[in-house]
């Protein structure tokens, strides 16, 4: 594997990963632009006797008003054959305005509403509403022309303001936009400064991270012992080059190595295959997981490690598990005791 350095590889991986959150972010922005999201939160307060054309002229699609003395017209509003609202009217000082109000579940429309704050979309009368005025004029024994002359050509439709489906879509889209933005920022940060990656930060537990990384890069260039798949073994390090999370493992800190298996569906082969995962536990308490490798690659790495570093615990067993847990506990106690001694010396 031709590689300038581990940090260079991390940069390349982040550059490749930058595409996916970018596409998601662009798609969510396109969805948000097609949802009248901003207008939902820009609702104009209008008086009960002010023509709604004033809001329309200012390009405000939504309005809120406190209406009093509302009367049911006797006509209902249907959407795709489903009752979704009732037509009400309000007559104040020679000005008539119509509303479409949401129905109360399981209850008939109230014939009279004393007062109600209504928020909805400002909608121009359609053919249905025009026919409503004609019928309504007959009920009031008015002429259609006379009622039309005092009726606002727009009405407030409470039913179409921020429907549940639009609200759910908006929430989901905003969550996806936030996730994609976080992904973009995270990827961009690691692209600019790969030393903030987990691969680099983990090395601080084993000494000066910059020196360890330089030493590992030098061994990768000149002292490779074995290279299998994405794994490279040098005299002092086991390095994995993975798009998800590369690892530089100082071999002198390793306590225990064992492998696990799992079945995974391979899309290209259209069948399940067995993959192997190498788990490496270090004296610092880290567990490095090198997952989904071929058996031949894992076996080759294990064979070389067994020959060169016989002091590791190899393979999983309850005894190994107990021994490693005991060593890690004692190591933490010793580290804690050393810190307390240093504090006392400083005092």
The CATH number of residue 286's host domain is 2.30.29.30
To the nearest 10 degrees (0 to 180), the angle between helices 6-17 and 164-192 is 160
Residue from 265, 184, 130, 246 nearest 22 by CA: 184
Residue from 301, 276, 305, 302 nearest 291 by CA: 276
Tokens for 260, please give them: 């696990």
Instruction: Indicate if 51 and 70 belong to the same structural domain.
Output: yes
Cα 310 vs. chain centroid, distance in angstroms? 46
Instruction: Indicate if 181 and 87 belong to the same structural domain.
Output: no
Considering its fold, how many domains does the chain have in total? 3
Predicted pLDDT at 263: 84
In a domain, 346, yes or no: no
In a domain, 278, yes or no: yes
Instruction: Indicate if 271 and 238 belong to the same structural domain.
Output: yes
Predicted pLDDT at 3: 52
In a domain, 291, yes or no: yes
In a domain, 339, yes or no: no
Instruction: Indicate if 282 and 189 belong to the same structural domain.
Output: no
Instruction: Indicate if 182 and 155 belong to the same structural domain.
Output: no
Instruction: Indicate if 259 and 300 belong to the same structural domain.
Output: yes
Q: What are the pLDDT digits (tens) for 111-161?
A: 999 999 988 888 887 766 677 777 777 777 778 788 888 888 888 888 876
Instruction: Indicate if 244 and 275 belong to the same structural domain.
Output: yes
In a domain, 13, yes or no: yes
Instruction: Indicate if 44 and 128 belong to the same structural domain.
Output: yes
Instruction: Indicate if 231 and 306 belong to the same structural domain.
Output: yes
In a domain, 325, yes or no: no
- Rounded to the nearest 5 percent, the helix, strand and coil shares of the chain are 45, 30, 25
Instruction: Indicate if 29 and 46 belong to the same structural domain.
Output: no
Predicted pLDDT at 294: 84
What CA–CA distance (Å, rounded) separates 95 from 155? 13
Domain encompassing residue 190? 6-34+169-194
**Residue spans of the chain under pLDDT 70:** 1-4, 35-42, 57-60, 106, 127-129, 161-166, 344-347
Instruction: Indicate if 209 and 274 belong to the same structural domain.
Output: yes
In a domain, 28, yes or no: yes
pTM (2 d.p.): 0.61
What CA–CA distance (Å, rounded) separates 276 from 289? 11
Instruction: Indicate if 85 and 148 belong to the same structural domain.
Output: yes
In a domain, 340, yes or no: no
Predicted pLDDT at 290: 87
Cα 65 vs. chain centroid, distance in angstroms? 37
């Amino acid at each position: 594997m031709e590689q300038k350095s581990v940090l260079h590889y991390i940069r390349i991986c982040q550059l490749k990963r930058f595409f996916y959150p970018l596409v998601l972010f662009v798609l969510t922005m396109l969805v948000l632009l097609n949802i009248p999201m901003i207008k939902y939160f820009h609702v104009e307060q209008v008086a009960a006797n002010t023509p709604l054309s004033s809001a329309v002229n200012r390009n405000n699609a939504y309005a809120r008003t406190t209406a009093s003395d509302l009367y049911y017209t006797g006509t209902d509003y249907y959407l795709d054959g489903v009752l979704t609202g009732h037509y009400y009217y309000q007559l104040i000082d020679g000005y008539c305005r119509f509303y479409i109000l949401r129905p109360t579940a399981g209850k008939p429309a109230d014939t009279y509403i004393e007062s109600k704050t209504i928020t909805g979309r400002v909608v121009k009368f359609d053919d249905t509403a025009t026919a409503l005025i004609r019928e309504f004029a007959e009920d009031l024994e008015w002429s259609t022309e006379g009622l039309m002359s005092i009726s606002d050509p727009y009405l407030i439709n409470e039913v179409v303001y921020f429907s549940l489906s639009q609200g759910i879509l908006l929430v989901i889209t905003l969550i996806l936009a936030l996730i994609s933005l976080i992904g973009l920022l995270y990827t961009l940060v690691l692209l600019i400064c790969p030393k903030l990656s987990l691969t680099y930060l983990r090395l601080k537990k084993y000494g000066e991270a910059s020196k360890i990384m330089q030493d590992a890069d030098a061994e990768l260039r000149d002292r490779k012992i074995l290279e299998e798949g994405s794994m490279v073994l040098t005299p002092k390090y086991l390095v994995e080059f993975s798009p998800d999370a590369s690892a530089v493992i100082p071999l002198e800190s390793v306590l225990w190595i064992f492998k696990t298996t799992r079945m995974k569906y391979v899309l290209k082969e259209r069948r399940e295959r067995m993959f192997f995962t190498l788990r490496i536990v270090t004296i610092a308490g880290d567990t490095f997981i090198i997952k989904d490798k071929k058996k031949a690659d894992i076996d080759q790495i294990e064979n070389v490690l067994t020959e060169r570093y016989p002091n590791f615990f190899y393979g999983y067993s309850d005894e190994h598990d107990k021994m490693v847990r005991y060593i890690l506990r004692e190591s933490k106690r010793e580290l804690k005791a050393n810190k307390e001694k240093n504090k006392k010396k400083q005092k």
